[in-house]
Structure 1
Amino acid sequence: MSARTFIFKVDCPPERVTALAFGLATDTFVQILTKAEAKNWPVHETKIASVHLSARPVVMDDAATTSFGIIDRLAALTTTKDLSRDEVIEFKPILDKMSSVVNNTNADVILSTGSTESRFTAELLNEAESIARKASRRSFGHVTGTIDKLVLQPDKGNRSIGLVDHLTGLRVTAVFDGALDRSVNALHTGSVVDIKGFIRSNSDKSLHLDAEDIEKIKKRHHQPVNSDDLEGILDIELPDGLNSVNIIRTLRDGDASPARKGDD
């Protein structure tokens, strides 16, 4: 049995735990476990007097370690001096739900995966919302490039395409929803695609694209050209009795330029 437990608490007196508040808290608890790919962990403890929920894996295997790593990254937002825009965007759905809990109960949300607690206050969540709002300024456009990374894991909610934009040379990560699964099933690394959607710049100068349309570009193949194909393309009138070799030899030897037909 695993000894490590994920604990979610709302630090409020019992009278503030309305049915709505408890529903919001439970929804946020599930959202965090879903993000950590741990929604199948057994619920270990539930206390309704305030709100105290906990879950832990049956065994502490590699998957559980990865899940706790994601939860720990979320919890670390409470101790970071400057919130990372990328992490705020990554955890935005959870932070939005936390804001609903905090606004409804006027209390902090507390996470714990060990001996220390991480406290999400209204001030912290408002700062995160401000960062996310600024990052949401994006434009609609498209990129064309060759796929070098393709992730399609519908059961885990992981859908992304990695490529380098042929025009700008910038790294692009395109994410998409289930509506485009059929189009993506026909793709593979090496496929050339044109992806349309909303684009925003990341702090590392790469691009993030929320795809709305993905089109595979067919590679064009041209038949090689031989000398027969070139015959007649250039209509060069040569002097009588001379071919191209004679003309080059004459010019090289410094003789006067041979007269063309019709010259006086």
Structure 2
Amino acid sequence: MPLLLTAILLGIVEGLTEFLPVSSTGHLILASEIFGYQADQWAAFNIIIQLGAILAVVVLYWRTFWAVAQGMLKGEKISWRFAMNILIAFMPAAIIGLALHSYIEVLLGAPEVVAVALVLGGIAILVLERIIKDHDVVGVAEIPAGRAVAIGFIQCLAMIPGVSRSGASIMGALALGVERRTAAEFSFFLAIPTMLGATTVEMWKNKTALATSQVGWGLIAVGFVVSFIVALVVIRWFVGIVSRHGFQPFAWYRIIFGSLALIWLLAR
């Protein structure tokens, strides 16, 4: 497959899946099996183009971030609570991710793990949607600090490829009493420092390879732009779906797609 076409396809996959509870990393790993490209050559690419999807959050919620920044300068407690909740929820991923980085990389080469995690994650979402009824927290700034930290630890489950960072953080928030829209938006905002940190580590680790590899900065730019444009559309659609139908459609997608992927991987 031509390199440019692969970059575009991966950008679409990233933009479609980064903020849905279906695991963008898992889909990118399975994409390497389906499209037949060499996954190790595209590993840094897959991490860095996540910034395109993150930029979509910044663009769509710029008024929120601007209001928070102004409020912090004015000393408003609600703005400081908003920022602190994002920061303290990010810390577990930063610490655990650095400590377990080498183990995580091993799992990234196991597509069967992704398929199983997709199925189990879908079942977990269906169960949680059925048993969780009380949602008393509305608004990111209103999440108690202890719950924000707990959501951060739950997000770390996504270090297993196929679990889904957004899925873990959203369902963790729901389990801790955060209402659906707030849980989804908190996951969006939490992705910004989490993905910035992961991308910084990946760029530093691969700085020499990126300068000489076929999959260099030009293709990364293509994937970045594509993931940004696709994520702009997906985020708005996702919030609307969640508000009306909850997370069950994504749970069933995970179960069906994960099962088909596992059958294909074992049968080939």
TM-score range, shorter chain: under 0.3
Which of 1 and 2 has higher RCO (CA within 8 Å, sep 6+)? Answer: 2
Largest Rg, 1 or 2 = 1
- TM-score (structure 1 length as normaliser): 0.26
Query: Which structure has the highest helix share of the two?
Result: 2
